[in-house]
A and B are shown apart, each in its own frame.
Chain A
Amino acid sequence: SQQGEEDPQALSIQEGENATMNCSYKTSINNLQWYRQNSGRGLVHLILIRSNEREKHSGRLRVTLDTSKKSSSLLITASRAADTASYFCATVASGTYKYIFGTGTRLKVLA
Protein backbone atom coordinates (compact mmCIF):
# COMPACT_ATOMS: atom_id res chain seq x y z
CA SER A 1 0.00 0.00 0.00
CA GLN A 2 1.02 3.62 -0.36
CA GLN A 3 3.66 4.83 2.04
CA GLY A 4 2.12 8.29 2.08
CA GLU A 5 -1.51 9.28 2.21
CA GLU A 6 -2.60 12.87 1.94
CA ASP A 7 -5.70 14.50 3.21
CA PRO A 8 -7.87 16.14 2.27
CA GLN A 9 -8.12 14.67 -1.21
CA ALA A 10 -9.43 17.98 -2.48
CA LEU A 11 -9.42 21.49 -1.08
CA SER A 12 -11.03 24.65 -2.41
CA ILE A 13 -10.23 28.03 -0.85
CA GLN A 14 -10.38 31.73 -1.66
CA GLU A 15 -7.31 33.64 -2.72
CA GLY A 16 -5.51 35.05 0.30
CA GLU A 17 -6.54 32.23 2.61
CA ASN A 18 -4.14 29.64 3.97
CA ALA A 19 -4.17 26.06 2.73
CA THR A 20 -3.15 23.14 4.91
CA MET A 21 -2.53 19.65 3.62
CA ASN A 22 -1.59 16.62 5.67
CA CYS A 23 0.41 13.51 4.90
CA SER A 24 0.65 10.29 6.86
CA TYR A 25 3.12 7.49 6.29
CA LYS A 26 3.74 4.04 7.66
CA THR A 27 7.43 3.28 8.25
CA SER A 28 10.56 5.00 9.52
CA ILE A 29 11.89 7.51 7.04
CA ASN A 30 15.07 9.36 6.17
CA ASN A 31 13.29 12.38 4.84
CA LEU A 32 9.96 13.59 3.54
CA GLN A 33 9.47 15.80 0.55
CA TRP A 34 6.58 17.75 -0.89
CA TYR A 35 6.02 18.09 -4.62
CA ARG A 36 3.61 20.04 -6.74
CA GLN A 37 2.03 18.89 -10.00
CA ASN A 38 0.28 21.09 -12.52
CA SER A 39 -2.13 19.60 -15.03
CA GLY A 40 -1.09 15.99 -14.51
CA ARG A 41 2.41 16.37 -15.91
CA GLY A 42 5.84 16.63 -14.28
CA LEU A 43 6.23 17.13 -10.56
CA VAL A 44 8.21 20.01 -9.13
CA HIS A 45 10.07 19.71 -5.85
CA LEU A 46 8.94 22.19 -3.21
CA ILE A 47 10.66 21.37 0.04
CA LEU A 48 12.49 18.59 1.87
CA ILE A 49 12.44 17.96 5.60
CA ARG A 50 14.79 15.47 7.22
CA SER A 51 13.73 13.05 9.90
CA ASN A 52 15.62 15.00 12.57
CA GLU A 53 13.89 18.27 11.68
CA ARG A 54 10.52 19.36 13.00
CA GLU A 55 9.74 22.42 10.92
CA LYS A 56 11.00 24.08 7.79
CA HIS A 57 10.09 27.23 5.89
CA SER A 58 10.51 28.26 2.29
CA GLY A 59 8.85 31.48 1.20
CA ARG A 60 5.10 31.02 1.72
CA LEU A 61 5.54 27.34 2.50
CA ARG A 62 5.79 25.85 5.96
CA VAL A 63 6.31 22.15 6.51
CA THR A 64 6.13 20.31 9.79
CA LEU A 65 7.12 16.76 10.55
CA ASP A 66 6.06 14.65 13.51
CA THR A 67 7.90 11.35 13.36
CA SER A 68 6.14 10.04 16.47
CA LYS A 69 2.82 10.36 14.65
CA LYS A 70 4.32 9.57 11.24
CA SER A 71 2.74 12.65 9.78
CA SER A 72 3.63 15.88 8.03
CA SER A 73 1.74 18.99 7.07
CA LEU A 74 2.24 21.54 4.32
CA LEU A 75 0.92 25.04 4.89
CA ILE A 76 0.68 27.52 2.04
CA THR A 77 0.08 31.00 3.37
CA ALA A 78 -1.67 33.82 1.52
CA SER A 79 -2.64 31.52 -1.32
CA ARG A 80 -2.81 32.69 -4.92
CA ALA A 81 -4.75 31.41 -7.90
CA ALA A 82 -1.41 30.23 -9.31
CA ASP A 83 -1.08 27.82 -6.37
CA THR A 84 -3.88 25.74 -7.90
CA ALA A 85 -2.31 22.30 -8.41
CA SER A 86 -2.01 18.84 -6.90
CA TYR A 87 0.37 18.44 -3.99
CA PHE A 88 2.08 15.18 -3.10
CA CYS A 89 4.23 14.06 -0.24
CA ALA A 90 7.01 11.57 -0.90
CA THR A 91 8.92 9.52 1.61
CA VAL A 92 12.06 7.46 1.49
CA ALA A 93 11.97 4.62 3.99
CA SER A 94 15.09 4.20 6.07
CA GLY A 95 17.64 2.00 4.33
CA THR A 96 15.96 2.22 0.95
CA TYR A 97 16.19 4.32 -2.18
CA LYS A 98 12.54 4.15 -3.20
CA TYR A 99 10.50 7.33 -3.16
CA ILE A 100 6.89 6.48 -2.39
CA PHE A 101 4.30 9.09 -3.23
CA GLY A 102 0.97 9.64 -1.59
CA THR A 103 -2.32 10.00 -3.39
CA GLY A 104 -2.15 13.78 -3.45
CA THR A 105 -4.30 16.75 -2.48
CA ARG A 106 -5.95 18.70 -5.28
CA LEU A 107 -5.91 22.36 -4.29
CA LYS A 108 -8.06 24.91 -6.03
CA VAL A 109 -7.57 28.57 -5.18
CA LEU A 110 -10.42 30.77 -6.32
CA ALA A 111 -9.65 34.33 -7.42
Chain B
Amino acid sequence: GAGVSQSPSNKVTEKGKDVELRCDPISGHTALYWYRQRLGQGLEFLIYFQGNSAPDKSGLPSDRFSAERTGESVSTLTIQRTQQEDSAVYLCASSPAGTGQGFGNTIYFGEGSWLTVV
Protein backbone atom coordinates (compact mmCIF):
# COMPACT_ATOMS: atom_id res chain seq x y z
CA GLY B 1 0.00 0.00 0.00
CA ALA B 2 0.90 3.66 -0.07
CA GLY B 3 1.79 3.81 3.58
CA VAL B 4 1.95 1.72 6.73
CA SER B 5 -1.55 0.81 7.78
CA GLN B 6 -2.52 -0.13 11.33
CA SER B 7 -5.76 -1.42 12.74
CA PRO B 8 -7.70 -0.85 14.82
CA SER B 9 -7.08 2.88 15.26
CA ASN B 10 -8.58 2.75 18.70
CA LYS B 11 -9.40 -0.17 20.95
CA VAL B 12 -10.98 -0.18 24.38
CA THR B 13 -10.81 -3.51 26.12
CA GLU B 14 -11.54 -4.90 29.54
CA LYS B 15 -8.70 -5.93 31.78
CA GLY B 16 -7.88 -9.59 31.28
CA LYS B 17 -9.03 -9.79 27.66
CA ASP B 18 -6.69 -10.53 24.75
CA VAL B 19 -6.17 -8.02 21.94
CA GLU B 20 -4.65 -8.26 18.48
CA LEU B 21 -3.16 -5.29 16.72
CA ARG B 22 -2.44 -5.47 13.01
CA CYS B 23 0.18 -3.78 10.88
CA ASP B 24 0.32 -3.72 7.09
CA PRO B 25 3.76 -2.46 6.05
CA ILE B 26 4.63 -0.67 2.84
CA SER B 27 4.83 -3.20 0.03
CA GLY B 28 8.38 -4.49 -0.44
CA HIS B 29 9.64 -3.38 2.95
CA THR B 30 11.51 -6.25 4.56
CA ALA B 31 12.06 -4.67 7.96
CA LEU B 32 9.19 -4.13 10.38
CA TYR B 33 9.24 -2.63 13.85
CA TRP B 34 6.79 -2.38 16.73
CA TYR B 35 7.08 0.37 19.32
CA ARG B 36 4.99 1.31 22.33
CA GLN B 37 4.42 4.87 23.44
CA ARG B 38 2.75 5.71 26.70
CA LEU B 39 1.04 9.08 27.05
CA GLY B 40 3.53 11.92 26.95
CA GLN B 41 6.52 9.62 26.78
CA GLY B 42 9.05 8.43 24.23
CA LEU B 43 8.97 5.33 22.06
CA GLU B 44 9.86 1.97 23.57
CA PHE B 45 11.23 -0.61 21.15
CA LEU B 46 9.29 -3.86 21.30
CA ILE B 47 10.35 -6.11 18.43
CA TYR B 48 12.01 -6.10 15.02
CA PHE B 49 11.29 -8.37 12.06
CA GLN B 50 13.55 -9.01 9.11
CA GLY B 51 11.25 -10.80 6.71
CA ASN B 52 9.25 -13.17 8.86
CA SER B 53 11.95 -13.82 11.41
CA ALA B 54 12.36 -11.80 14.57
CA PRO B 55 16.05 -11.51 15.43
CA ASP B 56 15.31 -9.17 18.30
CA LYS B 57 12.40 -9.64 20.67
CA SER B 58 14.23 -8.08 23.58
CA GLY B 59 11.78 -5.22 23.98
CA LEU B 60 8.69 -7.33 24.57
CA PRO B 61 7.70 -6.41 28.16
CA SER B 62 6.48 -9.82 29.26
CA ASP B 63 5.40 -13.22 27.99
CA ARG B 64 1.90 -11.79 27.57
CA PHE B 65 3.21 -10.02 24.49
CA SER B 66 3.89 -11.85 21.24
CA ALA B 67 4.18 -10.91 17.59
CA GLU B 68 4.33 -12.68 14.29
CA ARG B 69 4.73 -11.75 10.68
CA THR B 70 3.64 -13.48 7.52
CA GLY B 71 6.46 -13.38 4.97
CA GLU B 72 7.30 -9.77 4.27
CA SER B 73 3.73 -8.73 4.83
CA VAL B 74 1.29 -8.30 7.65
CA SER B 75 2.36 -8.42 11.28
CA THR B 76 0.18 -9.00 14.32
CA LEU B 77 1.03 -7.95 17.86
CA THR B 78 -0.95 -9.90 20.43
CA ILE B 79 -1.34 -8.92 24.06
CA GLN B 80 -2.84 -11.59 26.28
CA ARG B 81 -4.62 -10.95 29.57
CA THR B 82 -4.34 -7.20 29.15
CA GLN B 83 -3.48 -5.02 32.13
CA GLN B 84 -4.10 -1.34 32.66
CA GLU B 85 -0.40 -0.59 32.26
CA ASP B 86 -0.67 -1.90 28.68
CA SER B 87 -2.67 1.23 27.78
CA ALA B 88 -0.61 3.07 25.17
CA VAL B 89 -0.28 3.80 21.49
CA TYR B 90 1.30 0.89 19.64
CA LEU B 91 3.22 2.12 16.61
CA CYS B 92 4.34 0.00 13.71
CA ALA B 93 7.02 1.06 11.24
CA SER B 94 8.59 -0.48 8.15
CA SER B 95 11.78 0.05 6.23
CA PRO B 96 13.10 -1.13 2.85
CA ALA B 97 15.85 -3.20 4.40
CA GLY B 98 17.45 -3.95 7.69
CA THR B 99 19.72 -1.26 9.01
CA GLY B 100 23.19 -1.83 10.22
CA GLN B 101 26.68 -1.18 8.97
CA GLY B 102 26.45 1.61 6.45
CA PHE B 103 22.69 1.50 6.15
CA GLY B 104 20.74 4.68 6.50
CA ASN B 105 17.18 3.77 5.80
CA THR B 106 14.30 5.90 6.86
CA ILE B 107 11.61 4.04 8.72
CA TYR B 108 8.01 4.86 7.92
CA PHE B 109 5.41 4.85 10.65
CA GLY B 110 1.75 4.02 10.69
CA GLU B 111 -0.73 6.16 12.61
CA GLY B 112 -0.72 3.76 15.54
CA SER B 113 -3.29 1.79 17.47
CA TRP B 114 -4.44 3.46 20.66
CA LEU B 115 -5.18 0.80 23.27
CA THR B 116 -7.11 1.60 26.42
CA VAL B 117 -7.51 -1.11 29.05
CA VAL B 118 -10.32 -0.44 31.51
CB <8 Å contact, A30 and B102: yes
Say yes or no: is B73 at the interface (Cβ < 8 Å to chain A): no
Say yes or no: is B45 at the interface (Cβ < 8 Å to chain A): yes
Q: Report the nearest A residue to B58, measured CB to CB.
A: A98
Question: Looking at B55, B98, B109, which has the most chain A CB atoms within 10 Å of its CB?
Answer: B109
User: Measured between alpha carbons, how far is A90 from B45 in the docked complex, in Å?
Assistant: 11
Chain B residues within 8 Å of A101, by CB = 35, 42-43, 45
Given A42-B109, A42-B110, A92-B99: A100 and B45 interface contact (C-beta under 8 Å): yes
Chain A residues within 8 Å of B86, by CB = none
Q: Please encode chain B, from 72 to 102, with 1 for each CB lying within 8 Å of some chain A CB and 0 for all others.
A: 0000000000000000010101000011111
Given A101-B42, A101-B43: A42 and B111 interface contact (C-beta under 8 Å): yes
CB <8 Å contact, A98 and B42: no
Minimal beta-carbon separation of A105 from chain B (angstroms):
11
Chain A residues within 8 Å of B93, by CB = 43, 99
Minimal beta-carbon separation of B1 from chain A (angstroms):
14
Tell me if A's interface is mostly helix, strand, loop or mixed: strand
Chain B residues within 8 Å of A104, by CB = 42
Taking residues whose C-beta sits less than 8 angstroms from the other chain, chain A's interface range is 20 to 34
Say yes or no: is A96 at the interface (Cβ < 8 Å to chain B): yes
Minimal beta-carbon separation of A67 from chain B (angstroms):
15
Chain A residues within 8 Å of B53, by CB = none
Chain B residues within 8 Å of A44, by CB = 109
Q: Please encode chain A, from 50 to 61, with 1 for each CB lying within 8 Å of some chain B CB and 0 for all others.
A: 100000000000
Q: Report the nearest B residue to A47, measured CB to CB.
A: B106
